[in-house]
Amino acid sequence: MPSMNNAAIIDRMKPWYPDEQAYAGPEHLDGAYVTAYDKKARFDPTEDISLLLDAGMDNDSVVIDLGAGTGTFALAAAPHCREVIAVDVSAAMVELLRRRVHDGGITNVRVVQAGFLSYEHQGDLADVIFTRNALHQLPDFWKVAALERMASMLRPGGTVRIRDLIFDFDPASADERIEAWMDGAVTDPTVGFTAGELAEHVRGEFSTYSWLLEQMLSKVGFDVLDRSFVRSAYGAYTCTRRA
Ligand SMILES: C[S@@+](CC[C@H](N)C(=O)[O-])C[C@H]1O[C@@H](n2cnc3c(N)ncnc32)[C@H](O)[C@@H]1O
């Protein structure tokens, strides 16, 4: 059942829009999983921050982090910019991040419970949009809608950095490449993702091919400045919004 907050979000949307919480991955809505998430995810945002500073992020920048989770990126970006808006559809993630912001006395991180398809940006257009390991929760049609919405929130010339599980290989080699990717899985689920979890990801979530994502990026008005992949599955794109 959607929570009250989510019901309110859905109410404001067109009737054919999906319930983003239903797509969000049940684990992300689960308080115990959320509390243990950072140890499992082992996300170090240092390289992303450095790359975004090189791309022009500064203390006047408005930054949006979509699918912000526990806020690892948002909290690391905050000292470098004017405002970070950390958006996540999960009440459990939002609660944890709000607590972190409050306990840390951080005044320039705003936490919003909303999704890629429902977040309504107000105020100055963003200079930077960041999203990591969240876009794959949406099927491709809705990824395009999410990217289109991201383009509408970003100023021309602004930077979008997308990191996600994206498959950078030909369809003919998919089984072989996915097996090779799974060889890098861990056995302890508290410190990483197991082969079973990766299989569940491929089966039930919506990671897409790099060559499809690149079409989507171009279609909504993003030019790719830089792309990199690890194990042909962990993708990172830095793009700019065309004027
Ligand atoms: C794997 S976590 C990644 C969190 C964080 N970006 C990181 O890299 O550590 C995915 C996050 O995306 C959020 N999420 C899933 N679907 C979403 C949607 N449609 N809109 C916004 N957030 C979403 C989940 O609640 C979860 O916090």
Digit-coded pLDDT (tens) for 87-143: 999 999 999 999 999 999 999 999 999 999 999 999 999 999 999 999 999 999 999
Ligand 1 pocket, residues with Cβ under 6 angstroms? 20, 23-24, 28, 41, 43, 66-69, 72, 88-90, 93, 115-116, 132-134, 137-138
Ligand 1 atom, smallest distance to 137 CA? 16
Residue nearest to atom 26 of ligand 1 (CA): 69
- Whole-number pLDDT of residue 6: 62
CA–CA dist 108, 131 (Å, integer): 18
Q: What is the arithmetic mean of pLDDT over 71-99?
A: 98
Residue nearest atom 27 of ligand 1, based on CA coordinates: 69
Q: What angle do CA 91, 7, 63 make, to 5 degrees?
A: 50
Task: Report the helix count and the strand count for the chain, using DSSP H and E.
Answer: 10, 7
pLDDT digits (tens, 9 = 90+) for 13-24: 788 999 999 999
For residues 44-73, average pLDDT: 98
Which ligand 1 atom is the nearest neighbour of the CA of 34?
A: 27
What mean pLDDT is predicted for residues 158-183? Answer: 96
pLDDT confidence of 9, banded at 50, 70, 90? Answer: low
Return the pLDDT at 184.
Answer: 87
Ligand 1 midpoint to CA 136 (Å): 9
pLDDT at residue 29 is higher than 90: yes
Minimum-distance ligand 1 atom for the alpha carbon of 118: 20
Confidence of residue 11 (pLDDT cuts 50, 70, 90): low
Q: Could you tell me if 161 and 48 are in contact, meaning their C-beta atoms sit under 8 angstroms apart?
A: yes
CA dihedral 163, 68, 36, 167 (to 10 degrees): -20
Per-residue pLDDT tens for 173-205? 999 999 999 998 999 999 999 999 999 999 999
19, 90, 118, 144: residue to mutate for ligand 1 pocket, most atoms within 8 A of CB: 90
Cα(123)–Cα(38) distance, integer angstroms? 31
Report how far ligand 1's centroid is from the alpha carbon of 68 (Å): 6
pLDDT exceeds cutoff 90 at 10: no
Let me know: does 161 contact 130? Beta carbons within 8 Å. Answer: yes
Token digits of residue 15:
């009737």
Residue 3: which pLDDT band, with cuts at 50, 70 and 90?
A: very low
Q: Which helix (H) or strand (E) holds 10?
A: helix 4-11
Residue 75: alpha-carbon gap to chain centroid: 15
Please tell me the least confidently modeled range out of 2-11, 116-125, 156-165, 201-210: 2-11
- Residue 1 confidence (pLDDT): 35
Instruction: Please tell me the predicted confidence (pLDDT) of residue 107.
Output: 98
Q: How far apart are the first and last CA of the chain?
A: 42
